[in-house]
Amino acid sequence: MAFDPLQERGIPLDDQLRHWNELNVTPIDPDHTDPYTRSRIITMNGIETEAIFFSHQLARHCPDTGIRQQLARVRYIEAQQQKAVNWLLPGLSSVLETTIAYEQAAVDLTAWAARMEPDEYLKQAYQFGLLEHLDHLYRYANLYELIEHRATEKIVGRVTEVMPGRPTHLQHRDPVDNVREPYDRRKTEPLSRLHALTVMAVEQQIMNFSMTAGPMCLEPAARRLYQEIGLVEEGHLTHYESLADAGESWWERLLNHEYNECYLYYSFLETESEARVKGLWELHLNMELEHLRLAAELFRRFDGRDPDQVLAQACPPPMTFEPNKGYLRDLLATQADRTTLGTGYVLEEHERFRRMRQALAGGERPPSERVIEDNRAVSGRDYRLETETPYPAGVSGGPQGR
C-alpha cells in the first residue's frame, strides 16, 4: 500500500526537542561509506536549510503573532534536524573533497528528476542544468588532482563518471536568460512541484557552499575556480527558482515544503544502506509528519481548501540515487551545444551571450580552462573517470529500449 503522509501520525511537536548531544552525531566514514549515502546527506541538508530560510521569509510576511510563534517552534526543530544531518559529514574531508561530493549529488539528483519529470518543459530545464553540473564535477576533479594529488574516484566511487559537460566558460549567460517560465499551479502534477522544490533547494545549498568555501582556499587556482563556478551557481538558482508558480500562496508553499520533506525522508529511509543513517531518516520522517499536519491546518484555515487538492494522494515512488551514466552520455551527444535565449533554449550563440562573456573574461583564459591546462602540465593529462555505461532501469534509450 502506498505511503500517504497526510494519513500518518508523527511525533507530537512538544516531544521533538533534542539535547545537543543527540545532534552531535558520529560522522560517516568517507572511506567505507556508500557515496550515495553522502549524497543523501547533502540533499537533506539542502532541504532542511531551505525549510529554515522559507519559514523565516514567511514569518517576515505574517502579521499574526500566534502563527509566527508556531513557525518559530517548528523552525527550531528544523534547525536541529539540519544540524544532525549536516554533522554526519566527516570533518576530516577537505573543503575540495566536500565540494566534489556536492557536485556528485547534484549530478545524480538532477538526472533522476529529469528522468522522472512528466512535464517536458521542466524536464528540459533539469537536463540543461545537469550538463553544467557534470562539467563542474570535471573541473573540480582536475583541481583536486592538481593541488591534493588524489583521484576523484576516491570520493565518487565508480557510480558517477567524471567527464566534460557543457564547458563552464560557456555557462556565463546574461542574467535575463536564466529566468524560465513557471509551471501552472492549477494544472501541474504534484510530482512536478516536488522536483522543482527539491532541485532548487539543493542548488541553493551548492551556491551557498561555493560562496563560503572559496575564500577558505589558499591556492590561487582554487580561489579563481570557486569564484567562477560560484557565479554560475547563482544563475542556476535563478534558473530553478523561476520554475515555481509565484501565484502559490504562502500557505500552499509551506504545505509543499513540509510534504516534500516527508517524501524525501521516506524515500531515503527506503533506500539507505547504512543502518545508523537510516535510523536518522526514520526519526526525522516521524517529526516531519507532525510538521505537515500543522501546515495542513494552516492551509485549510487560510486557503480554504483541502490539502488533497494540491498534494498527491500518496507519495510517488521513492527518489533514488543511482548511476545515470548512459543517460548522461545521451544528453551530452544531443544537448551539450545548447544555450538559453529568453525563457527558451537555442543552439546559436547570441549577442547577449557574447557581451556577457567578453565583460567577464576580457580576453583572458577563464579559470575553468586554466585549471585543466595546469593539471595537464603537471599530470600529463586531464583527469577523467569513465566506466561502463549501465542505464537505469526503465530509461528509454538504454539497451532494453533499443
Question: What DSSP string describes 295-341?
Answer: HHHHHHHHH-S-GGGTS-SSPPSPP-----HHHHHHHHHHHTT-EEE
Instruction: Please check whether residue 386 is in contact with residue 163, taking contact to mean a CB–CB distance below 8 angstroms.
Output: yes
Cα distance between residue 314 and residue 243, in whole Å: 23
Cα distance between residue 358 and residue 361, in whole Å: 5
Instruction: Find the domain containing 366 and state its range.
Output: 10-396
pLDDT at 348: 83
pLDDT at 402: 20
Cα distance between residue 284 and residue 102, in whole Å: 22
Buried b (16+ CB within 10 A) or exposed e, 163-179: bbbbbbbbbbbbeebbb
pLDDT at 358: 86
Task: Assess if residue 229 is contained within a domain.
Answer: yes
Task: Assess if residue 4 is contained within a domain.
Answer: no
Task: Assess if residue 2 is contained within a domain.
Answer: no
Task: Assess if residue 267 is contained within a domain.
Answer: yes
| Cell matching residue 394 | 526503465
Measure the CA dihedral 171/126/81/289, to 10°: 160
SS3 61: coil
- Write the CB contacts of 178 (distance below 8 Å, at least 6 apart in sequence): 235, 236, 238, 239, 242, 340
- Write the CB contacts of 12 (distance below 8 Å, at least 6 apart in sequence): 290
Cα distance between residue 225 and residue 229, in whole Å: 6
Task: Assess if residue 5 is contained within a domain.
Answer: no
User: Structural domain tally of the chain?
Assistant: 1
Task: Assess if residue 1 is contained within a domain.
Answer: no
pLDDT at 394: 41
| DSSP-assigned letter for residue 177 | G
Task: Give the chain's end-to-end CA distance (angstroms, integer).
Answer: 33
Cα distance between residue 132 and residue 139, in whole Å: 11
| Cell matching residue 143 | 583541481
SS3 50: helix
Task: Assess if residue 343 is contained within a domain.
Answer: yes
| Cell matching residue 322 | 543511482
Residue (of 106, 112, 252, 265) closest to 188 by Cα position = 252
pLDDT at 363: 80
pLDDT at 400: 28
Residue 340's region, left for phi above 0, alpha for psi from -120 to 50, else beta, is: beta
pLDDT at 184: 97
In sign, the C-alpha dihedral spanning 153, 156, 160, 166 is negative
Cα distance between residue 318 and residue 250, in whole Å: 26
Task: Assess if residue 16 is contained within a domain.
Answer: yes
Q: What pLDDT tens digit does each residue of the chain (402 aa) get?
A: 689 999 999 999 999 999 999 999 999 999 999 999 999 999 999 999 999 999 999 999 999 999 999 999 999 999 999 999 999 999 999 999 999 999 999 999 999 999 999 999 999 999 999 999 999 999 999 999 999 999 999 999 999 999 999 999 999 999 999 999 999 999 999 999 999 999 999 999 999 999 999 999 999 999 999 999 999 999 999 999 999 999 999 999 999 999 999 999 999 999 999 999 999 999 999 999 999 999 999 999 999 999 999 998 889 999 999 999 999 999 999 999 999 999 999 998 888 888 888 888 888 899 999 999 999 999 999 999 998 754 444 443 332 222
